[in-house]
Amino acid sequence: MEVLSPEEVPAIYQTLIDKALEFREKAYAPYSKFLVGAAVLTKSGLMFGGANQENASYPLCMCGERVALYHSAMAAPGDEVVAVAICVKSPIGDIMQPVMPCGACRQVIKEYEDRYKGDIKIIIRTDDGRVWMVKSVKDLLPLGFDDSFLI
- First CA to last CA across the chain, in angstroms? 33
Contacts of 122 (CB under 8 A, 6+ apart): 83, 84, 86, 100, 101, 109, 133, 134, 136, 137, 140
Instruction: Please list, residue by residue across 71-86, b when 16 or more beta carbons sit within 10 angstroms of its beta carbon and e when fewer do.
Output: bbbeebeebbbbbbbb
List alpha helices for the chain, DSSP H: 11-24, 64-75, 103-116
Catalytic residue among 65, 80, 111, 113: 65
Does the active-site annotation cover 65? yes
Strands 121-125 and 81-89: parallel
List the catalytic residues. 65
